[in-house]
């Protein structure tokens, strides 16, 4: 098959399992009442991934997950993501099952100590892009915007996998109000901050001013190389000077790593056939009979 005809899919498994868990959290009490392991996130995860496999004839596939213990970013900025709650026990118990299900559905499972799912997706995309292969990323994480280029698009999940906003290099400006170009996403986060990751940004610089700075200066390096040309108010000038070192740190931790798979062949990520038997056995083990019906219908398509 010609490389130009090959496509790859990268799925933010960490993001999806959280979303699916909270979307069906009301079911957890039923599992507890019956003293069984909750499978609400697992059920939706399997259904959604199978639907995504039908969307395109993908050749390569990755489902990425965070690893326990945080990432290298926590060492560089101790407050990184400390505003987030820990994983609920009822989801924690489902994680090994979700990993196994992802494997049964034919995907390469991305996990690496010290790195986040974003880094593995970024590295996967970089590897495939180097081979001129298009990559479709599926996530709800806006950090992934920085990975968009001529080969990679971000499919933002709005409602399960039935409502998706596709952002690519051509429509990036239309669909993203924060920055004009994917290469400036990390600069924007460094200046304006990112509350979801607990990155404070430069004191006093909000979204509007961050955009103005990026439009005029582009990179942080260029901004600080032209201090004598600044026309900001004294308050903003002082903030930029006082936060200079922090701004560079914030940009670093906002930047997705792309070299985790430098020594891995693209062929390692070739999608395998879905293990229908294995999925059905999992459904039977956990009494997921409606999911079993779904898989039977999926198999017939």
Kindly report, as residue ranges, where domains of CATH 3.40.50.1010 are found in the chain.
7-176+257-300
Q: What is the pLDDT of residues 47-79, one digit of tens each?
A: 999 999 998 899 999 999 999 888 999 888 888
pTM: 0.93
Say if CB 124 and CB 147 are below 8 A apart.
no
Lowest mean pLDDT among 90-104, 125-139, 191-205: 191-205
Give the Cα separation of 116 and 113 in Å (integer). Answer: 8
Cα gap 271→121, rounded to integer Å: 15
| CB proximity list for 162: less than 8 A, separation 6 or greater | none
- Here the tokens at position 154 are 């971000």
Domain 182-254 is in which class? mainly alpha
63 phi and psi angles, rounded to 5 deg: -120, 120
Residue 74: C-alpha distances to residues 50, 69, 242, 298 (Å): 34, 9, 22, 42
> What pLDDT, in 10s, does the model give residues 125-159?
999 999 999 999 999 998 999 999 999 999 999 88
CATH number of 7-176+257-300: 3.40.50.1010
Task: Report how far apart the first and last C-alpha atoms of the chain are (Å, whole number).
Answer: 24
Q: How many helices (H) and strands (E) does the chain have?
A: 15, 6
């Amino acid at each position: 098959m010609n490389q130009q005809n090959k496509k790859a899919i990268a799925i933010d498994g960490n993001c999806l399992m959280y979303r699916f868990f909270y979307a069906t959290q009301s079911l957890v009490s039923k599992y507890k009442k019956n003293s069984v392991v909750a499978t609400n996130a697992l059920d939706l995860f399997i259904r959604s991934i199978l639907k995504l496999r039908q969307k395109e004839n993908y050749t390569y596939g990755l489902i990425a997950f965070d690893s326990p213990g945080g990432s290298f970013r926590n060492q560089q900025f101790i407050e990184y993501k400390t505003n987030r709650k820990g994983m609920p026990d009822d989801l924690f118990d489902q994680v090994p099952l979700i990993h196994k299900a992802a494997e049964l559905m034919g995907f390469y499972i991305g996990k690496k100590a010290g790195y986040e799912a974003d880094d593995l997706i970024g590295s996967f995309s970089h590897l495939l892009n180097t081979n001129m292969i298009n990559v479709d990323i599926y996530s709800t994480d806006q950090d992934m915007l920085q990975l968009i280029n001529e080969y990679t698009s971000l499919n933002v999940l709005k409602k399960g996998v039935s409502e998706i906003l596709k952002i690519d290099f051509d429509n990036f400006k239309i669909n993203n109000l924060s920055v004009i170009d994917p290469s400036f996403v990390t600069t924007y986060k460094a200046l304006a901050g990112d509350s979801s990751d607990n990155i404070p940004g430069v004191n006093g610089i909000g979204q509007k001013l961050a955009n103005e700075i990026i439009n005029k200066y582009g990179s942080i390096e260029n901004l600080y190389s032209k201090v004598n040309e600044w026309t900001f108010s004294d308050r903003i000038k002082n903030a930029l000077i006082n936060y200079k070192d922090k701004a560079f740190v914030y940009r670093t931790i906002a930047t997705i790593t792309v070299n985790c798979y430098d020594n891995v062949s693209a062929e390692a990520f070739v999608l395998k056939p879905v293990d229908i038997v294995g999925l059905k056995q999992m459904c039977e083990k956990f009494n997921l009979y409606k999911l079993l019906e779904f898989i039977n219908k999926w198999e017939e398509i």
